[in-house]
């Protein structure tokens, strides 16, 4: 609901308004990270739900989505850094699932995305290209996730049942490819473990 407040101060009328969300958002099914429907169409609420690393903007997209009313428009800018990322706390047991699944519409660039699952202090990653401009479902089997190259303390570990039992965070990084544009937008929807 929209709330508007008018106040008279020293003979002047001051006005402000805000979107007020009443009640609780219905919880997502087990394994789901986000379907982008629980933000009441409000980009600020969406942005607050994610951590942001380097230059990026998140907004709801009614025109680019897999289902429902909204997907995510994830805008990047590599002008000051070679990568950017968003992340969301998960704190869940994913031992009943075998893959991370999401809908993705790339921007046709040579830039890339990295899906990252954090568990037990280890960072597991799966790379996907952004070259496909057709929106499609991406399935990333947990067996194909590898420790991040910089995470030398967990080199050789696998994203096994012990790690899946305590998934802490999901991150999605976008990285600047050689000769690729520094700015663009990709679209994401229905992020979940299946």
Digit-coded pLDDT (tens) for 74-103: 999 999 999 999 999 999 999 999 999 999
Residue 23 lies in a domain: no
Tens digit of each residue's pLDDT (9 = 90 or more) over 110-124: 999 999 999 999 999
Domains in the chain, number = 1
Confidence bin at 15 (pLDDT 50/70/90) = confident
Asked if 94 and 60 count as a contact pair (C-beta separation under 8 A), the reply is no
Tens digit of each residue's pLDDT (9 = 90 or more) over 20-48: 555 566 788 899 999 999 999 999 999 99
Residue 125 lies in a domain: yes
Helix intervals (H) in the chain: 43-49, 161-164
Cα–Cα distance for residue pair 43/47, rounded to 1 Å: 6
Residue 85 lies in a domain: yes
Residues contacting 96, CB < 8 A, separation 6+: 30, 31
Residue 13 lies in a domain: no
As given in the structure block, the two tokens for residue 68 are 């429902």
Residue 165 lies in a domain: yes
The enclosing domain of 159 has a CATH number of 2.60.120.260
Residue 136 lies in a domain: yes
CA atoms within 13 A on the CB side of 128: 27
Give the model's pLDDT for residue 44.
Answer: 94
Residues contacting 154, CB < 8 A, separation 6+: 121, 122, 123, 147
Number of H helices, E strands in the chain: 2, 14
- Per DSSP, what are the bridge partners of residue 83? 175
Summarize the confidence of residues 179-184 as an average pLDDT: 94
Cα–Cα distance for residue pair 106/119, rounded to 1 Å: 27
Residue 12 lies in a domain: no
pTM more than 0.95: no
- Domain range for 172: 28-193
Cα–Cα distance for residue pair 157/179, rounded to 1 Å: 33
């Amino acid at each position: 609901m929209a709330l508007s407040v008018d106040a008279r101060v020293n003979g002047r009328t001051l006005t402000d308004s805000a979107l007020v969300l009443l009640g609780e958002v219905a919880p997502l099914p087990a394994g789901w990270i986000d379907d982008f429907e629980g933000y009441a169409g409000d980009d600020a609420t969406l942005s607050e739900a994610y951590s942001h690393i380097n230059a990026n903007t998140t907004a709801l997209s009614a025109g680019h989505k897999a289902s429902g009313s909204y997907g995510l428009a994830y805008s990047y800018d590599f002008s000051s850094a070679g990568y950017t990322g968003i992340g969301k706390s998960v704190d869940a047991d994913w031992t009943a699932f075998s893959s991370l699944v999401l809908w993705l519409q790339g921007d046709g660039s040579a830039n890339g995305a990295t899906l990252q699952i954090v568990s037990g202090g280890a960072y597991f990653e799966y790379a996907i290209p952004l070259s496909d401009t057709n929106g499609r479902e991406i399935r990333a089997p947990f067996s194909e996730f590898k420790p991040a190259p910089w995470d030398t303390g967990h080199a050789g570990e696998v994203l096994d049942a012990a790690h899946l039992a305590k998934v802490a965070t999901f991150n999605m990084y976008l990285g600047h490819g050689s000769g690729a544009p520094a700015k663009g937008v990709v679209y994401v929807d229905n992020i979940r473990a299946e």
